[in-house]
Amino acid sequence: MKPMTPQRRIQLIALPLALLGLAIGVLLMSFDPVMIARRSSTSSIARSSRGNDVPVPLMVSFTSDELATIRTLAPLPSPPEDPTNAVALLPRAAWLGQSLFFDPRLSSTGNIHCGTCHDPARWFVDLLPVAQTIGVGNRNTPTLLHTAHSRWFAWDGRADSLWSMSLLPIENESEMGGNRVAIVRLLANDLQLRAAYEAVFGQIPPIDASRRSGLNLPREARPVVDDPQDPMHVAWESMREASRDTVNRIYANVGKALAAYQSLLNDGGSTFDRFVEGLSEDGLTSTDPMTQGELMGLKLFIGKAGCIRCHSGPMFTDEEFHNIGVPPREGKVPRDPGRYRGVELLKRSPFHAAGFFSDGRESSRGIISESLVNSPENWGRFKTPSLRSVIKTPPYMHNGLFNTLDEVVRFYSTLEGAVQLDHHQETVLEPLHLTEDEIRDLVAFLGALHGPGPPDELMGPPRRPFGGVAATSSGDSNGAAASP
Ligand code: HEC
Ligand code: HEC
């Protein structure tokens, strides 16, 4: 299609539209006086007597190029397949994952679960600048809505799959402080969890030594790479290699079940999604859910403000890592190495996409992780976060520095306090020098990117007990988690 200037488009659509309006007006008047009365009391959405929407021009005009760009941001498709997780779509795995997600027995203190920080009542975040449970972390908690769309996980991308990411907080000493051997014990001893686990992954071997082929597990153990003297590590090293492999296998499966549950989490579609859905070829709309300010913000977002350079596609992220110079929080030195350390951690994880426990070592995910090379430029880079649901998940940035979206947009406007790095600094950002109106509009647009939230049955532990091993393969291929 030939690009048109806004003026020309308005001329083009104005006349036919006026005629159309007139014709409909006459029709409505002669056949359905009630509709007329209702129409005049509502918005600019015109409805014919058959209930069909009659498109009206947008309050803000967009060129055909802009319209094409807008259509790259929505709708959000289903999450991509994850070939490294063979059970990602199994409802029974999701039931197990949902149980484990809200189970405080995964923590060393017995009172922390994933939902403590990723709180369903708070849009799957904690609303804190940085996470805080057993200890205080140094990163802001991201929402888990739509997380299955991500290419890399955590601000530094130190995990390359949702299932391997899900294992990290369990053994992190300042988050849940748990350990994989205790989790195998839990799975073996809890009847419900055991039934669910075995229905998805097969039998858990006997865990004590008194049984033939028993795993002979210590009470607690996990590898502690940085501290071989740690009692947990000593206990881990004391185990037979075959037992360690089995424990690792079960632990990886726990991550895969957690991922199956999280793959179901989405916010049900945003105002912006509805807007794009109602958008016709030539920039007319039949459902004008967005306000003028939000539309002006959208125009800036994809145009002058250049946000879409990084916040692109239906997830509003390029899935890349950038250093945009976010200042450290007070007194926080040394700075967070970001992606640089993320690559190091990924490469040494036994659970990455090309590793022994991946179901898709030959997949592109596996191949890319295998060949990933670190470079000094990665220092201080962080993942471009998705902006879906963003208004619900303050504070913002990897370190939770900004409390409001207004503060974030002002940062992009002035780059005040931005950390100037050495010669590796990307020169991607220039101060935007936005007007007060532009700041307000951009913030308004960001506020239109959330939906109603996930259905109730995903907002806590499963409501129904596990259907049991008897509930075999039927219904495995699709359907919701809550009913395995
Ligand atoms: C102490 C609070 C806390 C707990 C408990 C916690 N998380 Fe997180 N989660 C975080 C923080 C903070 C990050 C960001 C980590 C980083 O970037 O270093 C994160 C990141 C993630 C991500 C990556 C999201 C993304 O968009 O990159 C996933 C997935 C995740 N957590 C899942 C879980 C699961 C599953 C559990 C339970 C097994 C869990 N989390 C427990 C705080 C927590
Ligand atoms: C050069 C790429 C780039 C551009 C251009 C860019 N961003 Fe970002 N954005 C990022 C990165 C990277 C982060 C995370 C930075 C960090 O935490 O250190 C981020 C973070 C954010 C956040 C915080 C989200 C959260 O959950 O914490 C918001 C909001 C945001 N950007 C909005 C915008 C807007 C609005 C624009 C246009 C004015 C814009 N961005 C332009 C890369 C970019």
201: nearest Cα among 82, 420, 359 = 359
Residue 50 confidence (pLDDT): 37
| Ligand 2 atom 26 nearest Cα | 396
Instruction: Work out the pLDDT band at 429, boundaries 50, 70, 90.
Output: confident
Over residues 431-439, mean pLDDT: 97
Domain co-membership, 148 together with 289: no
Is the pLDDT confidence value at 31 over 80? no
Residue 45 confidence (pLDDT): 40
Instruction: Work out the pLDDT band at 467, boundaries 50, 70, 90.
Output: confident
b/e 183-193 (16+ beta carbons within 10 angstroms → b): bbbbbbeeeeb
Q: What is residue 220's three-state secondary structure?
A: coil
Whole-prediction pTM: 0.88
Q: At what angle do helices 436-446 and 292-302 cross, to 10 degrees?
A: 100
Is the pLDDT confidence value at 40 over 60? no
Q: What are phi and psi of 381, to 5 degrees?
A: -90, 145
Dump pLDDT digits (tens) for 115-140.
999 999 999 999 999 999 999 999 99
Is the pLDDT confidence value at 38 over 90? no
Domain containing residue 72? 62-76+268-332+380-453
Residue 292 confidence (pLDDT): 94
Is the pLDDT confidence value at 320 over 60? yes
Q: Tally the residues of the chain.
A: 484
> Which atom of ligand 1 lies nearest, measured to the CA of 116?
5
**C-alpha to C-alpha distances, 165 to 200, 222, 420, nearest whole angstrom:** 20, 17, 31
Residue 44 confidence (pLDDT): 39
Dump pLDDT digits (tens) for 356-410.
999 999 999 999 999 999 999 999 999 999 999 999 999 999 999 999 999 999 9
Domain co-membership, 48 together with 87: no
Domain co-membership, 163 together with 45: no
Domain co-membership, 98 together with 246: yes
Q: Which residue has the tokens 């007329």?
A: 36
Task: At 31, list the tokens.
Answer: 């056949």
Is the pLDDT confidence value at 445 over 90? yes
Residue 35 confidence (pLDDT): 30
Q: Which of 17-31, 121-135, 198-212 has the lowest mean pLDDT?
A: 17-31
Pick 458 or 467 by higher pLDDT.
Answer: 458
Domain co-membership, 189 together with 70: no
| Ligand 2 atom 5 nearest Cα | 307
Q: Which residue has the tokens 């659970």?
A: 351
Domain co-membership, 446 together with 461: no
Dump pLDDT digits (tens) for 70-106.
999 999 999 999 999 999 999 999 999 999 999 999 9
Span from the CA of 415 to the centroid of ligand 1 (angstroms): 28
For residue 208, the one-letter residue type is: D
Domain co-membership, 279 together with 246: no
Span from the CA of 75 to the centroid of ligand 2 (angstroms): 21
Dump pLDDT digits (tens) for 290-306.
999 999 999 999 999 99
147 lines ligand 1 (CB under 6 A): yes
Residue 422 confidence (pLDDT): 54
Q: At what angle do helices 405-414 and 436-446 cross, to 10 degrees?
A: 130
DSSP state of 454: S
| Ligand 1 atom 12 nearest Cα | 141
| Ligand 1 atom 42 nearest Cα | 141
Instruction: Work out the pLDDT band at 473, boundaries 50, 70, 90.
Output: very low
| Ligand 2 atom 42 nearest Cα | 384
Pick the ligand that lies closest to the CA of residue 124: 1
> Which atom of ligand 1 lies nearest, measured to the CA of 133?
1
Over residues 304-315, mean pLDDT: 98
Mean pLDDT of the chain: 87
Is the pLDDT confidence value at 199 over 80? yes
Percentage of the chain modeled with pLDDT above 90? 76
How many structural domains compose the chain? 3
Residue 474 confidence (pLDDT): 40
Is the pLDDT confidence value at 481 over 80? no
Residue 281 confidence (pLDDT): 83
Instruction: Work out the pLDDT band at 209, boundaries 50, 70, 90.
Output: confident
Pick the ligand that lies closest to the CA of residue 426: 2
Pick the ligand that lies closest to the CA of residue 400: 2
> Which atom of ligand 2 lies nearest, measured to the CA of 409?
35
- Which residues sit with their C-beta closer than 6 Å to ligand 2? 305-307, 309-311, 322, 324, 326, 382, 384-385, 387, 390, 393, 396-398, 405, 408-409, 412, 428-429, 442, 446
Please report, for the chain, how many H helices and E strands are present, in that order.
16, 6
Residue 446 confidence (pLDDT): 98
Dump pLDDT digits (tens) for 162-184.
999 999 999 999 999 999 999 99
Residue 177 confidence (pLDDT): 97
Residue 238 confidence (pLDDT): 96
| Ligand 1 atom 10 nearest Cα | 141
Residue 283 confidence (pLDDT): 83
User: Is the N-terminal amide bond of 465 cis, ω within 30° of 0?
Assistant: no
Domain co-membership, 110 together with 178: yes
Strand-pair partners of 396: 402
Q: What is residue 156's three-state secondary structure?
A: coil
| Mutation to probe ligand 1, out of 127, 128, 165 (largest number of atoms < 8 A from CB) | 165
**C-alpha to C-alpha distances, 328 to 286, 335, 425, nearest whole angstrom:** 46, 7, 16
Instruction: Work out the pLDDT band at 158, boundaries 50, 70, 90.
Output: very high
Dump pLDDT digits (tens) for 228-241.
999 999 999 999 99
Domain co-membership, 165 together with 198: yes
Residue 41 confidence (pLDDT): 29
Task: Provide long-range contacts, Cβ within 8 A and 24+ apart, for 465-470.
Answer: 465/192, 466/92, 466/95, 466/96, 466/99, 466/192, 466/195, 466/196, 466/199, 467/92, 467/95, 468/195, 468/199, 469/195, 469/198, 469/199
Pick 191 or 13 by higher pLDDT.
Answer: 191
Domain co-membership, 459 together with 469: yes
Domain co-membership, 43 together with 152: no
Is the pLDDT confidence value at 48 over 60? no
Residue 477 confidence (pLDDT): 37
Q: What is residue 321's three-state secondary structure?
A: strand
The radius of gyration of the chain's CA atoms, rounded to the nearest angstrom, is 26
What CATH code is carried by the domain that includes residue 414?
1.10.760.10
Instruction: Work out the pLDDT band at 26, boundaries 50, 70, 90.
Output: very low
Pick the ligand that lies closest to the CA of residue 166: 1
Strand-pair partners of 279: 285
Q: What is residue 446's three-state secondary structure?
A: helix
* Residues 6+ away with beta carbon under 8 Å from 237: 228
Domain co-membership, 198 together with 320: no
Residue 167 confidence (pLDDT): 98
Dump pLDDT digits (tens) for 224-282.
999 999 999 999 999 999 999 999 999 999 999 999 999 999 999 999 999 999 998 88
Residue 421 confidence (pLDDT): 61
d(CA 405, CA 282): 32
**Burial group, residue 51, by CB count within 10 angstroms (0-12, 13-18, 19+):** exposed
60: nearest Cα among 298, 257, 412 = 298
Q: Give a three-class secondary structure readout of 232-266.
A: HHHHHHCCCHHHHHHHHHHHHHHHHHHHHHHCCCC
Q: Which of 5-14, 113-122, 446-455 has the lowest mean pLDDT?
A: 5-14
